[in-house]
Amino acid sequence: MKRSYVLLLIAMVVVLTVSANAQYSRIKNIVNSSHDMSSTSTATIKAVSNTQICYYCHSPHPDLNTTDPAVTTAPNGQTPLWNHYLSSKASYGVYSSPSFDAFQTDIADVGGAVAGSAAVTNLCLSCHDGTVGINTLYKGEFNAAGRRSPDFGGGINVASYMPASAQVGGGTDGLSDMHPLNFTYDATLAGKSVSLVVPVTASNGFGGTRLGVNTSSGKFLPLFASKMQCATCHDVHSQANGRPFLRASTTGSELCLACHGK
């Protein structure tokens, strides 16, 4: 009997581990990806000398940087321990088409948003809309010269911007001509369509649950407060499926059919 309990416990641990791994990337997978901007990275865009990997986005003790001349105005205290200034772009526009508009969703502009589930998308846009330097940070680098933005090739405190080839949400069109985001995707919305898959509640691997959809290979695409955001399809910590950090493969349209394959 005792042996049976031990085997059952092992089986439960394995299931939980697989569930967690299916939904979340290993953070260390960011090493040498395009989001690894340390000087030791193999990425094209990177620092001249700073060897830190995580701090271009995160800091365990984030605070407001008041010494850099090339920063945007933004509030302090962004989660998750965010170390990068947000864009001050007021509007990105919203997607519109006859078929999408017929659903009468609650889609909303993410411009200027700094709270709620839309903040997930704002974190991405803080680099990718091309208006804020990739090296424009709250924390900056600490050394004898004081706190300053790291050198990305142009010099200390000189902002280095996202190249046009990697910009999203920039220009006059913003996000209006891209896949819609920041709208509620739930059973009600799925019921209005003949092809949308009904989202499911799945274990998050940490004792809680989250809403999302599963792909044919078992990958999980999470929703954020039931809303579609950039991070639903993109995992910033993993290039397992190649650029641009997709959570699932596009082979056979696996990623698309997770939502559109009913």
Name which residue leads in pLDDT, 244 or 1: 244
Q: How far apart are CA 25 and CA 175, in angstroms?
A: 26
Among the candidates 150, 175, 200, a domain finishes at: 175
Looking up tokens 């089986």 gives: 11
pLDDT digits (tens, 9 = 90+) for 8-55: 444 433 333 334 444 455 777 899 999 999 999 999 999 999 999 998
Residue 104 CB neighbour total at 10 angstroms: 9
Same structural domain, 201 and 144? no
Q: Is 17 helix (H, G, I), strand (E, B) or coil?
A: helix
Question: What pLDDT, on the 0 to 100 scale, is given for residue 144?
Answer: 53
pLDDT digits (tens, 9 = 90+) for 84-118: 888 888 899 999 999 999 999 999 999 886 667 77
Give the mean model confidence (pLDDT) for residues 109-134: 85
Q: Which domain holds residue 155?
A: 31-175
One-letter amino acid for residue 237 of the chain: H
Q: Model confidence at 142, in pLDDT bands (50, 70, 90)?
A: low
- Give how many domains the chain has, as a whole number: 2
Same structural domain, 105 and 227? no
- Average pLDDT of the chain is 82
**Structure tokens that stand for 213 in this block:** 């959809």
Same structural domain, 113 and 48? yes
Question: What pLDDT, on the 0 to 100 scale, is given for residue 10?
Answer: 40
